[in-house]
Amino acid sequence: MAEILIAGVGATDFGDHTGRTGRELFAEARSSALEKSAVPRSDVDALYYGNYMGETAERQSHQAPLMSSGVGTTDLEATRVENACASGGYAVADGVRAITSGEADVVLVGGLERMTPLGTEETTAALSRAADELHEGRPGLTFPGAYALLADAYMERFGGSREDLAHIAVKNHANATTNPKAQFQSEIDVADVLEAPSVADPLGVLDACPITDGAAAAVLVSGEYATENGLEPAVAITGSGRGTETLSLQERGELTRTRAAESAAQAAYDRAEVTAADVDVAEVHDCFTIAEVLALEALGFYEPGAAITAARDGETTRDGTLPVNLSGGLKAKGHPVGATGVGQLVELTTLLEGTHPNADAVPDAKVGVTHNAGGTVATAAVHVLEVAK
């Protein structure tokens, strides 16, 4: 794959941004990324922008030209990317493809979601449209219930317990306490998780990510552009992959694997010429605690049935052999849907370059992976990031 460097990243705090518009939030993230990149705005060739529920939350569709208007040039391609919760990851993948193909030298990738204007009931309804309307939406299945089905299937086949899942939530909250951009910066313990109200057995409130507002952006440049303009970014995207599985759960052969993520990961690893064993740190899509388990196995870090105890055994904690979600993950950092995949890129970039508040947990990390999933992982985008040589 052609050399693709991350010249600059930026993000808002994730949380409740009542009183701010989506365009204001994205402008903050976009401006931060562009300023850090030292790339003239007039050099930006394209914008790929992830957003899922703008029509519902802000009554605003056709957002790409709106969000590109502050870049500083009108001579660019602007495209909105929608793939449910994987919208941001797919925006990054589109940016990678544009540079790899030679169509662009400088790409701005980003994402935004404002969810709090809708409230819990309306947000749940909006999110449910990312599932199969006929087989899941009409019967009333929402994502807490869908992921509860995945958790039940997993535990029935492989074992594991609610307490194992609780350790994932505890780990990610602990990581978020030192991340100033995280929505929840307070620790919890296993008892808190187990005693929290149930949302869909075996998942409780503290097994689920929150409703979140936020934006994130990154400036990607070709290696040739960086050389010609004297840029020396610290981190590169060396592999990018996407995968798809059937939307409806009932059409899948099994519920204990996420094949979209498996194929996306393999494509990313192949392009980067690495394996799962080479990865030092990961940011994965933990919209529910069981989702982190499924992600770790799809990414090849664990054999099927083995990841359920990873957090409990301390293997994925900040002091473990493979720190996962040092940002706090979706669970504690927050999940502004369209921004999440780009937000993962921002977090991992700063971890690898040593500027993240939790970078001390991985001082020697050279290779990292982001994993962004849509719906019940009907779509997935995986990116391999490496310290630039």
Cα–Cα distance measured from residue 185 to residue 288, given in angstroms and rounded to the nearest whole number: 18
Say if residues 257 and 154 touch (Cβ distance below 8 Å): no
Question: Other C-beta atoms within 10 Å of 228: how many?
Answer: 11
Backbone dihedral region for residue 197 (phi beyond 0: left; psi -120 to 50: alpha; all else: beta)? beta
**3-state class (DSSP) for residue 198:** strand
Q: Which of 85, 209, 287, 356 is catalytic?
A: 85
State the DSSP H helix or E strand holding residue 385, giving kind and residue range, or none if neither: strand 379-387
Q: Catalytic annotation on 335?
A: yes
Q: Which of 167, 173, 335, 383 is catalytic?
A: 335
HSE of 247 in the Cβ direction (CA atoms, 13 Å)?
A: 12
**3-state class (DSSP) for residue 207:** helix
Q: Catalytic annotation on 85?
A: yes
Cα–Cα distance measured from residue 226 to residue 39, given in angstroms and rounded to the nearest whole number: 9
CB burial of 321-331 (b: ≥16 within 10 Å; e: otherwise) equals: ebbbbbbbbbb
Question: With the CA atoms of 57, 62, 66 and 69 taken in that order, what torsion angle do they form, in degrees rounded to the nearest 10?
Answer: 160
Cα–Cα distance measured from residue 202 to residue 198, given in angstroms and rounded to the nearest whole number: 7
Cα–Cα distance measured from residue 338 to residue 92, given in angstroms and rounded to the nearest whole number: 11
| Residue carrying structure tokens 């970039």 | 349
Helices (H), the chain: 22-37, 54-57, 63-68, 87-100, 119-128, 143-158, 162-176, 190-195, 223-228, 259-272, 289-298, 329-332, 337-353
The residues assigned a catalytic role are: 85, 335
